[in-house]
Structure 1
Amino acid sequence: MPYYYSSAPYFLFVAGLLAGLASGAAFSATLKQQVNEWDKNRSTRTLANMQGPQLLVPFLGISGGVCFFLAAGLEIFGFPTKLAYAVAIPLTVLTGLLVWTQLARLLEQLERGGSKALDLDSFG
């Protein structure tokens, strides 16, 4: 007897997208605020150490939203639920770890060379 998927997870698809976007806005605002505070005060606290709970919580929100968005998207295209999450979770975790590591490197570079160290136009 064939299995027919009665309703695609469109709600979860949209909810994941909105959660990722809302968390991204919070992440962006928090990161800008922390970098501006650091730039004004040049405190003893390094930029790389600013990756605490204030940045981690919105980042996890982005990751969770992306995971649900990706899994729901796969389900919409006919993947079984378990397979969709078996693909979405590792992909989201690995991508999140890479982005978090890259953010740490970027903050270290910013701290060492200031904003001129991030001038990407000078490479072309």
Structure 2
Amino acid sequence: MYYFPQPPYLAALIGLFVAFTFGLVFEKLIEQKLQESYRNSEAENSFKLDNPILVASYLGTCFGSWLFLGGGFLIFSFGVIPAYGVALLLTIVTGALIWRQLGEVLLQIKAGGPESLSLD
């Protein structure tokens, strides 16, 4: 008798846990970076994303997102290589766009303060 293998829910759940955990660390590091930048806004590295721990936490978030997306594709019967390949492509593109946008927002805050982000 042939048994159908269960979908790999565990891969998606582990990816979700990793992304969520690193995301919380990234959030706290961004908050600390903004507080330091407001206190010393004339410093050369204020409002820049050059802290290695900040970069590592963001890459950890991207890694968890990759695992989650790949696991999600596996649940829908994609092969392992196509699932994680497409997930890697999506993660790299989305992660790079978000990182670039976050850098631009921080520079905009440096130039005009937090009021410069209002939508009015």
Give TM-score, length-normalised by structure 1: 0.88
Match of 2:50 in 1: 51
Residue type of the partner of 1:105? E
Residue type of the partner of 2:117? L
- In the aligned structure 1, how far is the partner of 2:105 from the partner of 2:4? 44
Q: How many residues align structurally?
A: 118
- In the aligned structure 1, how far is the partner of 2:59 from the partner of 2:4? 30
Displacement after TM superposition at 1:5 (Å):
6.1
- In the aligned structure 1, how far is the partner of 2:91 from the partner of 2:4? 25
RMSD (Å) for aligned C-alpha atoms: 1.5
- In the aligned structure 2, how far is the partner of 1:25 from the partner of 1:94? 21
Greater alpha carbon shift after TM alignment, 47-56 vs 104-113: 47-56
Q: Summarize deviations over 1:46-83 as a string: whole Å, max 9, x none.
A: 33433331211110011000000000000001111111
Match of 2:8 in 1: 9
Matches within 5 A, 1:4-43: 6-43=5-42
* Closer/same/farther in 2, CA of residues 21 and 67 from structure 1, 3 Å limit: same
Match of 1:88 in 2: 87
Match of 1:108 in 2: 107
Match of 2:61 in 1: 62
Q: Summarize deviations over 1:70-100 as a string: whole Å, max 9, x none.
A: 0000000111111101110011001111011
Contact 1:20–1:62 (CA under 8 A) maintained in structure 2? yes
- 3-state secondary structure, aligned to 1:50: coil
Unaligned runs of 5+ in 1: none
Unaligned runs of 5+ in 2: none
* Closer/same/farther in 2, CA of residues 72 and 84 from structure 1, 3 Å limit: same
- 3-state secondary structure, aligned to 2:83: helix
Identity %: 33
